[in-house]
């Protein structure tokens, strides 16, 4: 279990992450749709997340969403590195009605994000462009290589929810224990 706090002029965040959990969550960022997405991330990854954020929502949701990604990524990195006895690679395609989103993931310690999810506008009060900001912050702070690609869909809520869920399932699969593999790299280190 890893606990991190982060305080800036824009946000005040406390976070507890347990990668060996069962997908139990207690999340309050003040951004309703984002909370819903993080709850899905926790549930479908099997990672317990306790996250509280007080942000400058009177400006907009950007700092809250991005800073939560930073903190969650930092906490997960502390939970998984050094890498030993995990599958390392994971992928998933999640469908929600007409929407289908795929995620391919490598616990590489080489951060990189490909995000091809063309969703514009808002879901409720949530600016859809903030989903990419969250994933970029999370991936770069966690040391993951992640490719998220929308295959199809028209409903923005469905597309974004499938995005978070496909990431969660791919992450769960990548972190699955494999005691026979040792360090999953021909280099001997990640």
List average pLDDT for each run of 10 residues in the chain, which is 190 residues long.
97 98 98 98 98 97 98 98 95 98 97 97 97 98 98 98 98 96 86
Q: Which of 72, 45, 48, 31 is nearest to 173 (CA)?
A: 45
In a domain, 29, yes or no: yes
- In the structure encoding, which two tokens stand for residue 90, read together? 């994971």
Range of the domain at 101: 2-174
- Chain centroid offset of residue 5 CA: 18
In a domain, 185, yes or no: no
In a domain, 189, yes or no: no
- What CATH number should be reported for the domain holding residue 100? 3.30.230.40
- In the structure encoding, which two tokens stand for residue 16, read together? 């507890």
- In the structure encoding, which two tokens stand for residue 55, read together? 């942000």
In a domain, 183, yes or no: no
Domain count, the chain: 1
In a domain, 79, yes or no: yes
In a domain, 42, yes or no: yes
Sorted by sequence, the CB contacts under 8 Å of residue 12 that are 6+ apart come out as 5, 6, 53, 54, 55
Give the integer Cα–Cα distance in Å for 53 and 73. Answer: 15
Give the global pTM. Answer: 0.97
CA dihedral 102→110→144→51, nearest 10 degrees, is: -150
Q: Report whether 173 contacts 106 (CB < 8 A).
A: no
SS3 for 177? strand
Q: Which of 47, 42, 40 is nearest to 161 (CA)?
A: 40
In a domain, 188, yes or no: no
In a domain, 181, yes or no: no
pLDDT at res. 153: 98
């Amino acid at each position: 279990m890893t606990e991190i706090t982060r305080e800036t002029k824009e946000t005040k965040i406390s976070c507890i992450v347990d990668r060996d959990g069962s997908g139990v969550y207690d999340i309050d960022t003040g951004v309703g749709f984002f909370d819903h997405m993080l709850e899905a991330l926790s549930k479908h990854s099997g990672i317990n997340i306790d996250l509280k954020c007080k942000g400058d929502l009177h400006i907009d949701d950007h700092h809250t969403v991005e800073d939560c990604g930073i903190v969650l990524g930092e906490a997960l990195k502390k939970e998984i590195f050094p890498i030993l006895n995990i599958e390392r690679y994971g992928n998933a395609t999640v469908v929600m009605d007409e929407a289908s989103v795929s995620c391919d993931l490598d616990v590489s310690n080489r951060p990189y994000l490909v995000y091809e999810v063309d969703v514009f506008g808002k879901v409720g009060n949530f600016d859809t462009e903030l989903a990419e900001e969250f994933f970029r912050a999370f991936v770069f702070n966690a040391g993951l290589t992640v490719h998220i690609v929308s295959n199809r869909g028209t409903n923005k809520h469905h597309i974004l929810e499938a995005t978070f869920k496909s990431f969660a399932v791919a992450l769960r699969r990548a972190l699955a224990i494999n005691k026979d593999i040792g360090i999953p790299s021909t280099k001997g280190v990640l």
